[in-house]
Chain A
């Protein structure tokens, strides 16, 4: 499903060069739930952005759905992102000016889905995350937990092959965090691969595999619940 080989990423300023990732290799299988852990600044979010085709590595190879995307054009990356990937961010990243339904619809809008089908799938997704009654609300009218459930609905509405979640429970209380984890596990149960960055050991333990990063390198990979 997803394979990265010896990717690296550096950030440079005029004074300093930071190695965000060095020779990172990993694979994510179909319907697999992978948790990435590590201390702040170890490169977790950078890795997730590269896996989500939001950023490009400086070196190495990325293969998504059997397709080498290391040197794909921006247009090609957009097409793949649109077709196969859903995102859940720590800070929700809902568009303030759009309603809940319109935010969820964003996951379909750029795929050329018909308006009727979009309506149906948005309703279904909101139903799955328990937010159908909030469809016409604006994000600022929701609690943090509700906003993140909307973000999950937006990620799953298009039935992506891969969901990338960057500390999805980082801004939530325990109860809401567990609810969001349940939603992600439901998605995995339906065959979607999920890669999640988290600081929480207990949440990482709900994944199939746990990858430990330190200073931009993979230091360990642990298969869980086998």
Chain B
């Protein structure tokens, strides 16, 4: 029996090689796409689960809602929170803080220094809260002594070329050139991508060099240092169990903030929820992900599989309609219905298995490229995760059985004489199956195209709105602004503009906050950033009213003149930007119930430049001052970029900070800001591409099959006087009709879904009619290109052969 199935399957595939290749390849491609999207969704839902006991690990999270402003969520916590919480809750097993930093480090004095990414100062208990896997040394107790550090395996490799030697240390080089040695006590395994943690160096927070220790020593509790607090609850602890203690700690802060109308709160966020939680505004935070988008991507993967499966089942069913005579002959030779059912089901399962194996091979081939393109670390290793086979086997069985149902149960029940007498006539699957298949496939395709293009347009829109957009490339370097570096850079050949201003001004860090009183006497807390006179021209912020700071007028600083953005002008109570010019502002540089105010005068109003299209613009005040520490932004031209970068490097050697020069393009930073959206766009675009290939293959196979099925009709029409062109037009129209219906369905659904998606953005692009028309036009063009070859061949075929065709 098995041999019969094998040889019959081989014969069926060989009879229509092109047809077989196209249908098999389409299914294999869809299976590959479904596997990859499945792996993506699984990874997105597996964040932090590599940490033992992750279900009872929480990160403390604060909320701040200023009057008239939406609530902002912050992972940054006061330095005293950990101690205060530990004293108030009996549900806490361990608690520890990390202080995010990025110092310059080196392995030894003669080694090249690097800017350490993922560097944190931590309480010694951090590895009890987050028990990471150790590669060497004991992580528990690794930070018990001051001036110790645990490093990740990849960082150890980078600094020491492999495992750190016994007694190895790293040196932290301060901005003033001071060097502090930290002894390496342990090496931990690199963290997988599915975590919010960015840990490369975990240094003991006990040493004098540690900002954690400095914060603890401060007589005034600090609230704005990049300190995150993690709690490991006792077994069974839920987030709600920690809330009473947290409320107790927050209560005094709430009373203080209430004086300025601000509401503050806090909660314990399970670390497994951070990935899908609110955006993390901590300095090393990663953008959060909308779970609905992840589910939508999973649904798209499933839809692609459904689309290819229905196509495959429909085409296999249609093809089976031609096997009536074979069934009759087999029956005449003594085959029972049970044997025929086994024969047909066996064949379809075998063919589907071939497609599944091909699909798995495609996954193996493309996964590295997919990971590279999307910045993911998806793995498809059946030897390590044999459980993955279960869903694959289920899919195989469902598709295999579905595609074999018609021949197995309908054809096999035919009486032999009916088939032998009438040939295959009347046994073909109904034509609506093919039309429905085309509608489903092309509706999915057009919907995905609309989604992919909208995501790309929104990303472009967001990046185009960023500061400095539309200008030449802007290099940014974190540095001290009070050296003469900025002035020296301005004089370099190829440099158009250069400004050294607070990182917050470029939206590269949170804005410092001040207390302000508007004209109605209401308090609010606008952002306050220090910028040099060159900032506005470089950022593209031309004044809406008044002027910006003039390089030649140092008096701007002395006279307490400021520039405000549009939103600040509105909240201060000015009727228009012009009305604000020359007006005094009451601003206090301290936050509190009744802080003393300093008089400032508005000399200009500029447009809002919000950090992200996801958030409304806040009130911002620009003060003319060179901050002690800020960002040097250098605008050049694309042609001069590499030269300027090189010259900047030489200048940095001569008069820059002690660490290495780390210059990043502002456009790249902006792109990173929207990385999540970009990844989503790429996933959807990849799905759209797969959908396009599958829809094209499906239509190709269907047109080939239909042209073949209608060969005799074509011959009759030709004999009746139809020209090949008339036949082509007739068949093409019949093929395009379901495609047009699909376009209407897909565009409608795509438009509705993407309108809803765009609503999450405060500033957003639109969905113009020309875009929808373009998608429809492109889809129809693809349909014409794919189906016309088969139709033209059939229309120009030999009439006599066509008339004899049965």
| Stretch binding the partner chain, chosen from A103-111, A174-182, A207-215 | A103-111
A93/B721 in contact, CB under 8 A: no
Contact of B426 among A52, A106, A140 (CB under 8 A): A140
Q: Which residue of A lies closest to B715 (CB)?
A: A93
Q: Which A residues are in CB contact (< 8 Å) with B720? A: 82, 87, 106-107, 109-110, 154
Indicate whether B594 reaches chain A with its CB closer than 8 angstroms: no
Q: Which B residues are in CB contact (< 8 Å) with A95? A: 713, 716-717
B799/A74 in contact, CB under 8 A: no
Q: Which residue of B lies closest to A94 (CB)?
A: B716
A81/B800 in contact, CB under 8 A: no
Q: Complex Cα distance A110/B730, Å?
A: 12
Q: How far is the CB of B73 from chain A (nearest CB, A)?
A: 63
Contact with B along A62-97 (1 / 0, CB 8 A): 000000000000110010011100010100011111
Q: Which A residues are in CB contact (< 8 Å) with B722? A: 78, 82, 109-110
Q: Which B residues are in CB contact (< 8 Å) with A52? A: 719
Q: How far is the CB of B733 from chain A (nearest CB, A)?
A: 14
Q: A110-B720, A154-B720 are in contact. Are A55 and B799 (CB under 8 A)?
A: yes
Q: Which residue of A lies closest to B799 (CB)?
A: A54
Q: For B712, B717, B719, which residue has the most chain A Cβ atoms within 10 angstroms?
A: B719
Q: Which A residues are in CB contact (< 8 Å) with B719? A: 52, 54, 81, 87, 93
Contact with A along B700-731 (1 / 0, CB 8 A): 00000000000011011111111110100000
B426/A110 in contact, CB under 8 A: no
Q: Which residue of A lies closest to B428 (CB)?
A: A96
Indicate whether A49 reaches chain B with its CB closer than 8 angstroms: yes
Q: A54-B719, A54-B800, A93-B803 are in contact. Are A110 and B425 (CB under 8 A)?
A: no
Q: Which A residues are in CB contact (< 8 Å) with B426? A: 140
A55/B800 in contact, CB under 8 A: yes
Q: Complex Cα distance A78/B722, Å?
A: 7
Q: Complex Cα distance A107/B717, Å?
A: 8
A78/B803 in contact, CB under 8 A: no
A82/B721 in contact, CB under 8 A: yes
Contact of A81 among B425, B712, B721, B798 (CB under 8 A): B721
Q: Complex Cα distance A95/B712, Å?
A: 8
Q: How far is the CB of A82 from chain B (nearest CB, A)?
A: 3
A110/B799 in contact, CB under 8 A: no
B726/A49 in contact, CB under 8 A: no
Q: Complex Cα distance A75/B724, Å?
A: 9
> Interface size bucket, A side?
20 to 34
Contact of A49 among B431, B717, B800 (CB under 8 A): B800
Q: For A49, A93, A107, which residue has the most chain B Cβ atoms within 10 angstroms?
A: A93
Q: Which residue of A lies closest to B803 (CB)?
A: A93
Q: Complex Cα distance A111/B718, Å?
A: 12
Q: Complex Cα distance A189/B210, Å?
A: 115
Q: How far is the CB of A83 from chain B (nearest CB, A)?
A: 8
Q: How far is the CB of A117 from chain B (nearest CB, A)?
A: 16
Contact of A75 among B712, B723, B798 (CB under 8 A): B723
Q: Complex Cα distance A74/B718, Å?
A: 11
Q: Which A residues are in CB contact (< 8 Å) with B724? A: 74, 78
Q: How far is the CB of A225 from chain B (nearest CB, A)?
A: 30
Q: For A52, A55, A81, A94, which residue has the most chain B Cβ atoms within 10 angstroms?
A: A81
Q: Which B residues are in CB contact (< 8 Å) with A81? A: 719, 721
Q: Which B residues are in CB contact (< 8 Å) with A94? A: 716
Q: How far is the CB of B721 from chain A (nearest CB, A)?
A: 3
Q: Complex Cα distance A55/B803, Å?
A: 12
Q: Complex Cα distance A29/B716, Å?
A: 26
Q: Complex Cα distance A83/B720, Å?
A: 9
A96/B425 in contact, CB under 8 A: yes
Contact with B along A35-68 (1 / 0, CB 8 A): 0000000000000010010110000000000000
Q: How far is the CB of A85 from chain B (nearest CB, A)?
A: 8
Q: Complex Cα distance A87/B719, Å?
A: 7
Q: Complex Cα distance A181/B715, Å?
A: 24
Q: Which A residues are in CB contact (< 8 Å) with B798? A: 55
Q: How far is the CB of A102 from chain B (nearest CB, A)?
A: 11
Q: Which A residues are in CB contact (< 8 Å) with B718? A: 54, 78
Q: For B715, B716, B798, which residue has the most chain A Cβ atoms within 10 angstroms?
A: B716
Q: How far is the CB of A37 from chain B (nearest CB, A)?
A: 20
Q: Complex Cα distance A110/B716, Å?
A: 12
Q: Which residue of B lies closest to A87 (CB)?
A: B719
Q: Which B residues are in CB contact (< 8 Å) with A83? A: 721
Q: How far is the CB of A87 from chain B (nearest CB, A)?
A: 5
Q: Complex Cα distance A109/B431, Å?
A: 24
Q: Complex Cα distance A111/B726, Å?
A: 11
Q: Which B residues are in CB contact (< 8 Å) with A109? A: 720, 722
Q: Complex Cα distance A52/B712, Å?
A: 17
Q: Which A residues are in CB contact (< 8 Å) with B716? A: 93-95, 106
Q: Which B residues are in CB contact (< 8 Å) with A75? A: 723
In the complex, chain B residues 406-429 whose Cβ is within 8 Å of any chain A Cβ: 425-426
B803/A89 in contact, CB under 8 A: yes
Q: Which residue of A lies closest to B426 (CB)?
A: A140
Q: Complex Cα distance A96/B722, Å?
A: 18
Q: Complex Cα distance A55/B804, Å?
A: 13
Q: For A54, A83, A89, which residue has the most chain B Cβ atoms within 10 angstroms?
A: A54
Q: Which B residues are in CB contact (< 8 Å) with A93? A: 712, 715-716, 719, 803
Q: Complex Cα distance A3/B211, Å?
A: 108
Q: A54-B800, A54-B803 are in contact. Are A110 and B721 (CB under 8 A)?
A: yes
Q: Which residue of B lies closest to A86 (CB)?
A: B720
Q: Which residue of A lies closest to B714 (CB)?
A: A95
Q: How far is the CB of B727 from chain A (nearest CB, A)?
A: 10
Q: A49-B800, A54-B800, A93-B803 are in contact. Are A78 and B425 (CB under 8 A)?
A: no
Q: Which A residues are in CB contact (< 8 Å) with B431? A: 97
In the complex, chain B residues 722-760 whose Cβ is within 8 Å of any chain A Cβ: 722-724, 726
Contact with A along B777-806 (1 / 0, CB 8 A): 000000000000000000000111001000
Q: Which residue of B lies closest to A93 (CB)?
A: B716
Q: How far is the CB of B99 from chain A (nearest CB, A)?
A: 77
Q: Complex Cα distance A107/B724, Å?
A: 16
Contact of A106 among B712, B717, B723, B799 (CB under 8 A): B717
Q: Complex Cα distance A83/B426, Å?
A: 33
Q: Complex Cα distance A54/B798, Å?
A: 8
Q: Which A residues are in CB contact (< 8 Å) with B799? A: 49, 54-55
Q: How far is the CB of A183 from chain B (nearest CB, A)?
A: 18
Q: Complex Cα distance A140/B723, Å?
A: 27
Q: Which residue of B lies closest to A158 (CB)?
A: B721
Q: Complex Cα distance A64/B321, Å?
A: 42
Q: Which B residues are in CB contact (< 8 Å) with A110? A: 717, 720-723, 726
Q: How far is the CB of B712 from chain A (nearest CB, A)?
A: 7
In the complex, chain B residues 383-439 whose Cβ is within 8 Å of any chain A Cβ: 425-426, 431
Q: Complex Cα distance A219/B723, Å?
A: 36
Q: How far is the CB of A3 from chain B (nearest CB, A)?
A: 21
A78/B800 in contact, CB under 8 A: no
B723/A111 in contact, CB under 8 A: no
Q: Complex Cα distance A7/B799, Å?
A: 19
In the complex, chain B residues 677-719 whose Cβ is within 8 Å of any chain A Cβ: 712-713, 715-719
Q: How far is the CB of A157 from chain B (nearest CB, A)?
A: 10
Q: Which B residues are in CB contact (< 8 Å) with A54? A: 718-719, 799-800, 803
In the A-B complex, the 10 residue pairs with the closest CB atoms: A82-B721, A110-B721, A54-B799, A106-B720, A110-B722, A78-B723, A95-B713, A49-B800, A93-B716, A55-B800
- Given contacts A54-B800, A95-B716, A110-B722, could you give 7 more A-B pairs where the C-beta distance is less than 8 Å? A82-B722, A94-B716, A96-B425, A106-B720, A107-B720, A140-B426, A154-B720
Q: Which residues of A contact B (CB under 8 A)?
A: 49, 52, 54-55, 74-75, 78, 81-83, 87, 89, 93-97, 106-107, 109-111, 140, 154
Q: Can you list 20 A-B contacts (CB < 8 A)?
A: A49-B799, A49-B800, A54-B718, A55-B800, A74-B724, A78-B722, A78-B723, A82-B720, A82-B722, A93-B712, A93-B715, A93-B716, A94-B716, A95-B713, A96-B713, A106-B716, A109-B722, A110-B717, A110-B721, A110-B722
